[in-house]
Structure 1
Amino acid sequence: MAIRGIPSAREMTMEEFKEWLKQFDVDGDGRISRAELREAIRRRGGWFTTLRAGRAVRRADRDNSGFIDDAEVENLVAFAKKDLGMRISAW
């Protein structure tokens, strides 16, 4: 399965992950909402996207704003690795 040009077996850097995630920021506010994350998971081929997106936002959203901003994206990486099977490296 591919993520818009990025094969799933390939390891992504943190910057590549952020760029991939940015394409789902439909309102352009620099934050990822639950609905935007649900679409990202759906495009990745995931099931139960509403539940997974809700769980991911609760885990990653440290300031309880309901959005994942740049400072919280790193918190989302653990979810992406475990629940979505993505391979993401720190560099």
Structure 2
Amino acid sequence: MGRKGWTWRQLEASLPENQMKSIFKAFDTNGDGKLSRKELKVCLKKFGMSFAGFRAWHAIRHIDANGDGMIGEDEIKELIKYASKWGIIVTP
């Protein structure tokens, strides 16, 4: 599924964890396996989130355990937990 196939309405619904992971991974535009603040901002803007830049910055500050300024594979679960603050419900 390409990025153009998702809508904010779909994200507001309950999503399986693996689908949420694939959505965020699809926005890894440089293919390094991590989401930068810019990539996360683009993702959030695509889905109509207000203050996407601020939310991306805040999410990375909150989630980035290793301090590299990115959300890596090992931090995706924390991003999913944090997404619930945005009204996104992720099911196992």
Task: With the length of structure 2 as denominator, give the TM-score of the two structures.
Answer: 0.85
Alignment of structure 1 residues 1-91 onto 2, 5 Å: 4=6, 7-83=10-86, 85-90=87-92
Q: Give the ranges of 4+ consecutive aligned residues of structure 1 lying more than 3 Å apart after TM superposition.
A: none
Structure with the larger helix share? 2
| Cα distance in 2 between the residues matched to 1:63 and 1:9 | 29
Displacement of 1:9 in angstroms is 4.4
Quick one: which amino acid aligns to residue 32 of structure 1?
L
Task: With the length of structure 1 as denominator, give the TM-score of the two structures.
Answer: 0.86
Quick one: which amino acid aligns to residue 43 of structure 2?
A
Structure-2 change in CA distance of 1:48 and 1:10 (3 Å): closer
Quick one: which amino acid aligns to residue 86 of structure 1?
I
| Cα distance in 2 between the residues matched to 1:70 and 1:54 | 18
Aligned-pair RMSD on alpha carbons?
1.6
Q: How many residues align?
A: 87
| Cα distance in 1 between the residues matched to 2:78 and 2:68 | 14
Displacement of 1:20 in angstroms is 0.5
Identity %: 29
